[in-house]
């Protein structure tokens, strides 16, 4: 069925009123605490509620959801513009989406929403928007970044069209999966006059507070994954945020690769073989040449037989930027996926990684690394790239003095 935005908005004539009433009622309920006059809820212990008031600032020089600590739940949605969508339509969509995302991430009720109760506790919700090539072709052809094109197809790629490039992307992350689902629902509905959903990539990482502080999370191969990420602001400035020209400064690029991981065969390996394939220990992710997770690997070290301790074909060795190309670094923000096994496949699993990478320029950062891995990487035996897309991620927005900016404004208005 199709639902028109007119009807949706008509139905929400009383939304603002309902929203305020809802918010007020909830506040009084919160203040009243456990002062219920009838049967009390059973769950009245003193467990902490660390997510109760967890809000990630929506506005800022960069969009949130990039240097934000990885939340537990991901809905990455690829949208295609409807046929009639022209430049002005894209601008209208961006106005609506930005305003609604700003409200949702702040725990407020977007205009036209009849569900204020679903938006109360964002749990670190971030909504990050990216533009595919076609948005520029339609609305700002002269401003398309030169790197905004398909990642070249690699020898080992088995790309499926259903996980391919789209015109727009929303990366919706929250530590509460209910909030994440609701934000996906709201944003999809808010955009329905302009876009259709092409795919949704749903993933997860560790829950807030589930693993020790500062511990780099693991993927479903059991590997500590994300050690070489930028942490400090200067590293983000170097690797991620585009500097110029004005209006584009603060933007970045998002590359998403859907990587199927063959758990069934991976798990036949003993631990030593798994560690050799990666070049790091499974225990804590430290290089096989010693030190802790963040120690520099010693690529020259050999064992008592004169063999390299870290295999030159290991994932770590191949992914490392060569000495003359220190720019080959980027921010990895991967999520696991774990779907039911395909019926009839005989497989026990259907799992992998939604590998999201942010960098200034995929052509000089992501692509050379992936080309090297595609050529040789011992992990390749168990991994297959099945989806690929690239987006420009507009700079962050400002809502100062009531002049609310929208995503991509500097480019769309130019």
| Range in contact with its own copies (rule: CB under 8 A) among 200-208, 303-311, 312-320, 378-386 | 200-208
Q: Which of 6, 84, 155, 232 binds its own copies (CB under 8 A)?
A: 232
Q: Which residues contact 62 (CB under 8 A, 6 or more apart)?
A: 241, 250, 252, 395, 396
| Number of residues in contact with its own copies under rule CB under 8 A | 107
CB 329 within 8 A of CB 230: yes
208 near its own copies, judged by CB under 8 A = yes
Which element (helix H / strand E) includes 170?
Answer: strand 168-174
Catalytic residue among 225, 311, 363, 377: 225
Among the listed residues 108, 160, 289, 340, the single contact to its own copies using CB under 8 A: 340
9 in contact with its own copies (CB under 8 A): no
Q: Which stretch binds its own copies (CB under 8 A): 12-20, 102-110, 306-314, 357-365?
A: 12-20
Distance CA 238, CA 230 (A): 9
Q: Which stretch binds its own copies (CB under 8 A): 32-40, 97-105, 246-254, 304-312?
A: 32-40
Stretch that binds its own copies, among 87-95, 290-298, 299-307, 383-391 (CB under 8 A): 290-298
Q: Would you list the DSSP string of 362-378?
A: TTTTHHHHHHHHHHS-G
Q: Which of 16, 89, 200, 249 binds its own copies (CB under 8 A)?
A: 200
Alpha carbons within 13 A on the beta-carbon side of 117: 6
Rounded CA separation 154/70 (Å): 28
Nearer to its own copies (CB atom), residue 72 or residue 255: 72
Can residue 321 be called a binding residue for its own copies (CB under 8 A)? no
Instruction: Compute the distance between CA of residue 311 and CA of residue 89 in angstroms, rounded to an integer.
Output: 53
DSSP 211: S
- 270 in active site: no
Task: Rule CB under 8 A: choose which of 268, 301, 371, 414 binds its own copies.
Answer: 268
Owner of token pair 């320029």: 361
At 110, list the tokens: 């977007």
Closer to its own copies by CB, 36 or 158: give it: 36
Interface of this chain with its own copies, residues 154 to 183, rule: CB under 8 A:
162, 175-179, 181-182
Two structure tokens written together for 135: 């948005």
Contact segment (CB under 8 A) with its own copies among 27-35, 129-137, 301-309, 354-362 equals 27-35
Q: Under 8 Å CB-to-CB from 72, ≥6 apart: which residues?
A: 174, 175, 176, 177, 204, 205, 206, 207, 208
Residues 62-81 that bind its own copies (CB under 8 A): 69, 72-73
Residue 293 in contact with its own copies, rule: CB under 8 A = yes
Question: Whole-angstrom Cα distance, residue 321 to residue 254?
Answer: 19
**Which residue lies nearer to its own copies by CB, 178 or 414?**
178
Task: Considering only residues 116 through 145, tell me which ones interact with its own copies, judged by CB under 8 A.
Answer: 117-118, 121, 123
Q: Using the Cα atoms of residue 202, residue 208, residue 209 and residue 213 in order, give the sign of their dihedral.
A: positive
Q: How far is the CB of 264 from its own copies (least distance, A)?
A: 5
Among 149, 156, 231, 325, binds its own copies (CB under 8 A): 231
34 scored as a contact of its own copies (CB under 8 A): yes
The answer to the question of residue 29 lying near its own copies (CB under 8 A) is yes
Q: What is the closest distance, in whole angstroms, from the C-beta atom of residue 329 to its own copies in the complex?
A: 13
141, 142, 214, 326: residue in contact with its own copies (rule CB under 8 A): 214
Q: Residue by residue, what is the 3-state secondary structure of 137-166?
A: HHHCHHHCCCCCCCCCCCCCCCCCHHHCCC
Reference 218, options 229, 206, 201, 231; nearest CA is 206
| Joined tokens for residue 65 | 């959801």
Query: Known catalytic residues?
Result: 225
């Amino acid at each position: 069925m199709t639902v028109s935005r007119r009807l949706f908005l008509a139905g929400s004539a009383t939304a603002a009123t309902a929203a305020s009433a809802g918010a007020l009622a909830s506040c009084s309920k919160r203040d009243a605490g456990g002062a219920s006059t009838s049967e009390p809820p059973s769950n009245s212990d003193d467990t902490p509620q660390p997510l109760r008031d967890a809000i990630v600032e929506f506005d800022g020089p960069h969009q949130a959801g990039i240097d934000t600590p990885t939340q537990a739940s991901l809905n990455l949605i690829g949208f295609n513009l409807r046929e009639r969508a022209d430049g002005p339509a894209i601008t209208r969509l961006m106005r609506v989406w930005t305003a609604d995302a700003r409200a949702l991430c702040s725990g407020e009720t977007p205009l036209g929403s009849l569900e204020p109760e679903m938006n109360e506790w964002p749990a670190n919700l971030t909504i990050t928007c990216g533009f595919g090539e076609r948005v520029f072709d339609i609305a700002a052809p002269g401003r398309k970044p030169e790197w905004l094109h398909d990642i070249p197809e690699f020898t080992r790629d088995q790309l499926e069209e259903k996980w391919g490039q789209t015109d727009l992307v929303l990366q919706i992350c929250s530590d509460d999966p209910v909030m994440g689902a609701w934000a996906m629902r709201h944003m999809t509905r808010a955009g329905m006059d302009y876009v259709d959903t092409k795919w949704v990539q749903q993933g997860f990482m560790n829950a807030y507070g589930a693993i020790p502080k500062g511990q780099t999370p693991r993927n479903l191969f059991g590997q500590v994954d994300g050690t070489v990420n930028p942490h400090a602001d200067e590293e983000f400035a170097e690797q991620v945020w585009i500097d110029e020209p004005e209006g584009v400064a603060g933007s970045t690029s998002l590359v998403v690769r859907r990587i199927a991981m063959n758990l069934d065969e991976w798990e036949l390996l003993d631990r030593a073989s798994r560690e050799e394939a990666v070049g790091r220990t499974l225990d804590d992710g430290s290089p096989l040449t010693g030190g802790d997770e963040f120690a520099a690997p010693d690529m020259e070290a050999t064992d008592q037989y004169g063999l390299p301790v870290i295999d030159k074909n290991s994932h770590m060795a191949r992914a490392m930027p060569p000495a003359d190309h220190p720019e080959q670094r980027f921010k990895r923000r991967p999520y696991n996926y774990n779907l039911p096994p395909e019926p009839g496949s005989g497989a026990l699993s259907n799992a992998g990684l939604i590998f999201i990478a942010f960098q200034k320029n995929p052509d000089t950062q992501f692509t050379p690394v992936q080309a090297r891995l595609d050529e040789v990487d011992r992990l390749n035996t168990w991994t297959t790239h099945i989806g690929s897309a690239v987006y420009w991620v507009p700079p962050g927005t400002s809502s100062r003095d009531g002049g609310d900016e929208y995503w991509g404004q500097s480019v769309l208005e130019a």
